[in-house]
A and B are shown apart, each in its own frame.
Chain A
Amino acid sequence: MSRYTAVTPADLDVMLATIGAASVDELFDQIPDGVRLREQLDLPAGMTEQDVYGHLLDLARRNTSAEDEITFLGAGMYDHYVPAVIDMLLGRSEFLTPYTPYQPEISQGGLQVMFEYQTAICELTGLPVSNASVYEGPSAVGAAGYLAKLANGKRKLVVSRGLHPHSRETLRTLSHGYGTEVVEVPLRDGVTDPDAWAAAIDDDTCAVFFQQPNVLGAVEDAAALAAAANDSPAVVVGSYDPLPLGILATPAECGVDVAVGEGQTLGNRLDFGGPSFGFFAASEAYLRRMPGRIAGETRDVDGRRGFVLTLQTREQHIRREKATSNICTSQALNALAGVVYLSWLGREGIVELAELMLQRTAYARDTLAALDGVELLHEQPVVREFALRLDVGGLDGVRRVISSCQDEGVNPGYALGRDYEEHPEGLLVAITEQRTKDHVDRLADVLARAVAAERARAGAGHEVPA
């Protein structure tokens, strides 16, 4: 008997007698002989709780986490502080262990959380409707493409190269299924090239996609990008980092139709990439084409205020092949972390946090760009992340610089050349409230030495610069 089951030999006798079966094995007689597994699975034997803990601890120790180094790594997920109230609330059985709220009378907690979450996302984006979460950021971009395809049936998705590479690739993967083509628009001076953007949009454009701030950390002129699609049928989709929205112009103010984004920074851990959540908000016109769960307010038979899952005729369990999405299980617990985090930050706090990142990012940008062999990749406004060019001969040089900084306990950021062949020497540096002036100064010291060493190495003829 495992520690998670409870059938004693005495129970077993009574249960089999009640069923009228001679053995448990008889219950599997439905399975044809040809597909019965006769041998045991080739897996290790079970372990005690303490041994499993020891094994998982051992694996954890073989990772270098944000606890083990001063990290400036971002590029889509960021090392923000997760307040203790989130651990405590997410660990509560009543939030952790229910299923999707199919019985609203006994699920008011979860349903009201969804309603509050939707309210917070609407406030953050300025858009009138939000769903209760989708999987995560890049697949939210893909879901927005599907919404646009259902809305106007056009064939072309116009995508800024400022959109995260994972978002662009996810969009390409998913749109290959639903039958659209993806056209990329290059960046110029760190932001989406406005002329190429305008030229790419025509009567056959299904949707246009940009990211704010974009993958190089630059703040895009979102209003101008949206306006360029005014005379086309295209749905304007913006993929937003939610924390800079504390101060950035909202999607609604910029004329964006659908705002999506990665919710990790709102109270969710890094977790090596998930689980987090994606948010999905839209203008009223797209309400009935939204993917996923939506909670709505109503009354019970006694007139008490309550909440239900609503507009379910969009969803797979009702509409089946005509559904607006196939999503079922989503990210409710992570979205709970999101609304708790936004409430914890509060009305003033989110502005303060965004202004704090703005100041520290400016300091880090100036400090690092002053180093020998380091220059800015672009001079656009930035809020929490910026791009540098290291004069080290190419991507391999950047990788070696990163590695030697990490050997000194500082992770300087992301090598952009991994995804952008036009920026082989790019380094993307991210700032959160957990990275102080001292951390930045330490990075400057370590990076200066690493870049100098790499340049000396190249100069000494160990490598021919690209």
Chain B
Amino acid sequence: MSPAKTAGGTPMQREVVETIFEKGAPGRRAFACPQAGVPARDRLELLPARLRRAQAARLPQVSEPELVRHYVRLSRRNFDLDSGFYPLGSCTMKHNPRLHERVTALPGHARLHPLQDPARAQGALELMWNLERALGEIAGLPYVSLQPSAGSHGELAGLLLTRAYHEERGESRHKILTPDTAHGTNPATVTMAGYEVVKVGTNADGGVDIQDLRSKVDADVACLMLTNPNTLGIFDPNIEQIAALMHSVGATLYYDGANLNAVMGKSRPGDMGFDIVHFNLHKSFTQPHGGGGPGSGPIAVSGRMEPFLPRPVITRSEGADGALFGLDEDRPQSIGKLRGFQGNYGCFVRSYAYICSLGADGLRDASEIAVLNANYLLARLRELCGDALPLAFGERCMHEFVLSGAPLKRDLGVRTLDVAKRLLDHGFHPPTVYFPLLVDEAMLIEPTETETKETLDAFAEALAAVVKEAREDPEIALNAPYTTPVRRLDEAGAAKNPVLRQQL
């Protein structure tokens, strides 16, 4: 590493941390087991040896202070949203209000058993009912199931609903259309739901290629899955025509809600003609991402899909003392359950608190500022490094945009990956890279509404500095990063000779 070649650098912990399994010593412990306090029975009489494991699991043997220090030190080897800008496209890394952690931890929410009698869980059911109504209003589709655990789980729910809908009409359809800009989860879900993927092209403006779509639409198409605005950050101007075309052959229209943060209070998927929408509560509705979950992927649907919703559904009736909420399992046409219990309630509490905080105005403002921030950052980047990193499609964007690193690669041999790695030395999380697939050397940038203008300026200047430096000495970017806890890792080697657990 050459200090002269480093930028600001990250404040993260650089010393390698041994795994918890390499720490501790026999006899150490953090847990003091209570006394059983009941008349002791012979353990082998209660559970005979043939049903017992031969040797104890070799779990760590550490004291509480050792445990805490280990994981705190490990945490300091992570970059996180609270410490820095995280413009990961299609991930909507907006601020996570700490109020949400506080209210979710209230014992009435946190220690509520999912099988508690609904009569004794009225607060939770009312919260879920209110959240369903709010999400339905935002989507413009009135019927909501909160059950799916994440976006991809919502997609699966949506396609299983589509299957149930067509089956109920005595139809057997086989194909699902997805644009080539789609998230990878879309085609993966299609296969899991037992359908065949048919790809639809993108036109010169970044929208669905209508001619290509027309040529692929027939009575064997069950559904079109669309993200709008799409992963290029472009709102499809032909959306009404696309919806009419799909409905004319009896297909359903599925809205991947990953990009909903662009249009809350501005435009509604239901009004665009969609039948099914999934929400990513861990994106638009600020459930913290946790380093890869938990998430939550509720769906909202139109009337014709409602009978097939996952069960149970939440019900509301007027009781003697006001509204009474319940769980209805008696749903004969339901596709069934997609998971245990009622979904990721802890995520519902957070997102409901968020919607309460913002209200109708605040949600619209969030989308407006998300789009404003994205266009401002785009304008700054075009001004500072537009030749090296041109905008892939269009002139303006919605809440995110795609730059292409193709000129930089062609002229200097510096790839998007190298630019991303060099950004790490500037203390920024890089954008999503190499997605969407149809843009060469893609860089998908989503700043979100919660960033200040100063942060956007600093990021634009850092990216410009990386480009300028690459022109002077491409080697610097090619070998970046320099200041991170580790430098480039041998991913090919990791896949070739997998070491997937600590050997003991």
Of B88, B111, B420, the residue contacting A79 (CB under 8 A) is: B111
Residues of A close to B379: CB separation below 8 A: 18-20
Q: Which residue of A lies closest to B329 (CB)?
A: A418
Residues of A close to B183: CB separation below 8 A: 317, 328
24 contacts between A and B (CB under 8 A): A6-B451, A19-B379, A35-B240, A43-B363, A57-B106, A63-B124, A65-B109, A76-B340, A77-B115, A94-B75, A94-B83, A100-B289, A101-B292, A106-B484, A113-B74, A248-B51, A249-B52, A272-B342, A273-B341, A299-B489, A302-B1, A331-B290, A346-B60, A411-B113
Residues of A close to B271: CB separation below 8 A: 35, 37
Q: Digitize B75-99: 1 where CB-to-A-CB distance is under 8 Å, 0 elsewhere.
A: 1111111110010100101111101
Of A60, A61, A91, A350, the residue contacting B59 (CB under 8 A) is: A350
A283 in contact (CB, < 8 A): no
Q: A112-B17, A316-B184, A359-B46 are in contact. Are A42 and B360 (CB under 8 A)?
A: yes
B211 in contact (CB, < 8 A): no
User: Is the pair A349, B31 in contact by a Cβ cutoff of 8 Å?
Assistant: yes
User: Is the pair B160, A328 in contact by a Cβ cutoff of 8 Å?
Assistant: no
B169 in contact (CB, < 8 A): no
Give residues of chain B (188-206) contacting chain A, Cβ–Cβ below 8 Å: 188-194, 197
Of B126, B239, B361, B484, the residue contacting A45 (CB under 8 A) is: B361
B371 in contact (CB, < 8 A): yes
Q: A100-B289, A300-B486 are in contact. Are A30 and B235 (CB under 8 A)?
A: yes
B355 in contact (CB, < 8 A): yes
Of B76, B107, B150, the residue contacting A328 (CB under 8 A) is: B150
**Closest beta carbon of chain A to B70's beta carbon, Å:** 8
B473 in contact (CB, < 8 A): no
User: Is the pair B355, A43 in contact by a Cβ cutoff of 8 Å?
Assistant: yes
Q: A177-B192, A247-B52, A274-B345 are in contact. Are A343 and B489 (CB under 8 A)?
A: no
A195 in contact (CB, < 8 A): no
Residues of A close to B289: CB separation below 8 A: 97-100, 329
A55 in contact (CB, < 8 A): yes
B304 in contact (CB, < 8 A): no
User: Is the pair B38, A60 in contact by a Cβ cutoff of 8 Å?
Assistant: no
User: Is the pair A95, B372 in contact by a Cβ cutoff of 8 Å?
Assistant: no
Closest 5 CB pairs of A and B: A60-B108, A273-B341, A333-B290, A273-B114, A46-B359
Residues of A close to B484: CB separation below 8 A: 105-106
User: Is the pair A5, B366 in contact by a Cβ cutoff of 8 Å?
Assistant: yes
Residues of A close to B76: CB separation below 8 A: 94, 109
A153 in contact (CB, < 8 A): no
User: Is the pair A15, B376 in contact by a Cβ cutoff of 8 Å?
Assistant: yes
User: Is the pair B240, A34 in contact by a Cβ cutoff of 8 Å?
Assistant: yes
Which stretch (B213-221, B461-469, B496-504) binds chain A?
B496-504
Residues of B close to A174: CB separation below 8 A: 156, 160, 192, 338
Which stretch (A128-136, A196-204, A230-238, A442-450) binds chain B?
A128-136
Interface centre among B78, B103, B234, B342 (most CB of A within 10 A): B78
**Closest beta carbon of chain B to A362's beta carbon, Å:** 5
User: Is the pair A122, B123 in contact by a Cβ cutoff of 8 Å?
Assistant: no
User: Is the pair A381, B47 in contact by a Cβ cutoff of 8 Å?
Assistant: yes
CA distance A329 to B494 in the complex (A): 22
**Closest beta carbon of chain B to A25's beta carbon, Å:** 8
11 additional A-B pairs beyond A40-B360, A46-B361, A130-B501, beta carbons within 8 Å, are A3-B357, A18-B380, A37-B140, A56-B356, A65-B107, A105-B421, A119-B19, A128-B501, A136-B339, A138-B339, A347-B57
- How many residues on A have C-beta within 8 angstroms of the other chain's C-beta atoms? 207
Residues of A close to B264: CB separation below 8 A: 41
Q: A56-B353, A101-B292 are in contact. Are A356 and B36 (CB under 8 A)?
A: yes
Residues of A close to B94: CB separation below 8 A: 4
CA distance A325 to B193 in the complex (A): 11
B153 in contact (CB, < 8 A): yes
User: Is the pair A105, B488 in contact by a Cβ cutoff of 8 Å?
Assistant: yes
Residues of A close to B34: CB separation below 8 A: 356, 433, 436
B487 in contact (CB, < 8 A): yes
Interface residue SS majority, chain B = loop
CA distance A30 to B237 in the complex (A): 6
Of A34, A272, A305, the residue contacting B109 (CB under 8 A) is: A272
Residues of A close to B41: CB separation below 8 A: 359, 362-363
CA distance A249 to B49 in the complex (A): 9
A255 in contact (CB, < 8 A): no
User: Is the pair A59, B124 in contact by a Cβ cutoff of 8 Å?
Assistant: yes
User: Is the pair A299, B490 in contact by a Cβ cutoff of 8 Å?
Assistant: yes
Of A7, A62, A92, A135, the residue contacting B339 (CB under 8 A) is: A135
Q: Digitize B1-34: 1 where CB-to-A-CB distance is under 8 Å, 0 elsewhere.
A: 1000000001010001101110000001111011
Q: A60-B123, A89-B71, A97-B82 are in contact. Are A326 and B156 (CB under 8 A)?
A: yes
CA distance A106 to B265 in the complex (A): 36
User: Is the pair A60, B106 in contact by a Cβ cutoff of 8 Å?
Assistant: yes
User: Is the pair A36, B78 in contact by a Cβ cutoff of 8 Å?
Assistant: no
Q: Which residue of A lies closest to B311 (CB)?
A: A169
User: Is the pair B116, A63 in contact by a Cβ cutoff of 8 Å?
Assistant: yes
CA distance A218 to B367 in the complex (A): 53
User: Is the pair B398, A332 in contact by a Cβ cutoff of 8 Å?
Assistant: no
B438 in contact (CB, < 8 A): no
Of B39, B62, B485, B494, the residue contacting A343 (CB under 8 A) is: B62
Of A36, A53, A329, the residue contacting B267 (CB under 8 A) is: A36
User: Is the pair B47, A19 in contact by a Cβ cutoff of 8 Å?
Assistant: no
Give residues of chain B (408-422) contacting chain A, Cβ–Cβ below 8 Å: 420-421
**Closest beta carbon of chain B to A358's beta carbon, Å:** 5
CA distance A381 to B52 in the complex (A): 11
User: Is the pair B336, A169 in contact by a Cβ cutoff of 8 Å?
Assistant: yes
Residues of B close to A94: CB separation below 8 A: 75-76, 78, 80, 82-83
Q: A59-B126, A164-B340, A248-B53 are in contact. Are A139 and B83 (CB under 8 A)?
A: no
Residues of B close to A3: CB separation below 8 A: 357
User: Is the pair A359, B38 in contact by a Cβ cutoff of 8 Å?
Assistant: yes
Which stretch (A154-162, A290-298, A369-377) binds chain B?
A290-298
Which stretch (A334-342, A387-395, A453-461) binds chain B?
A334-342
Residues of B close to A298: CB separation below 8 A: 489-491, 493-494, 499
Q: A87-B105, A98-B78, A331-B293 are in contact. Are A139 and B149 (CB under 8 A)?
A: yes
Residues of B close to A5: CB separation below 8 A: 365-366, 369, 449-450
User: Is the pair B188, A109 in contact by a Cβ cutoff of 8 Å?
Assistant: no
CA distance A327 to B40 in the complex (A): 46
B249 in contact (CB, < 8 A): no
A308 in contact (CB, < 8 A): yes
**Closest beta carbon of chain B to A410's beta carbon, Å:** 13
User: Is the pair A336, B291 in contact by a Cβ cutoff of 8 Å?
Assistant: yes
User: Is the pair B156, A170 in contact by a Cβ cutoff of 8 Å?
Assistant: no
User: Is the pair A296, B420 in contact by a Cβ cutoff of 8 Å?
Assistant: no
User: Is the pair A44, B33 in contact by a Cβ cutoff of 8 Å?
Assistant: no
Residues of B close to A124: CB separation below 8 A: 57, 59
User: Is the pair B495, A300 in contact by a Cβ cutoff of 8 Å?
Assistant: no
Q: A46-B357, A115-B19 are in contact. Are A28 and B500 (CB under 8 A)?
A: no
User: Is the pair A136, B79 in contact by a Cβ cutoff of 8 Å?
Assistant: no
User: Is the pair A97, B96 in contact by a Cβ cutoff of 8 Å?
Assistant: yes
Of A1, A129, A350, the residue contacting B57 (CB under 8 A) is: A350
User: Is the pair B80, A334 in contact by a Cβ cutoff of 8 Å?
Assistant: no
User: Is the pair B150, A64 in contact by a Cβ cutoff of 8 Å?
Assistant: no
CA distance A44 to B71 in the complex (A): 41
Residues of B close to A36: CB separation below 8 A: 266-267
User: Is the pair A381, B46 in contact by a Cβ cutoff of 8 Å?
Assistant: yes
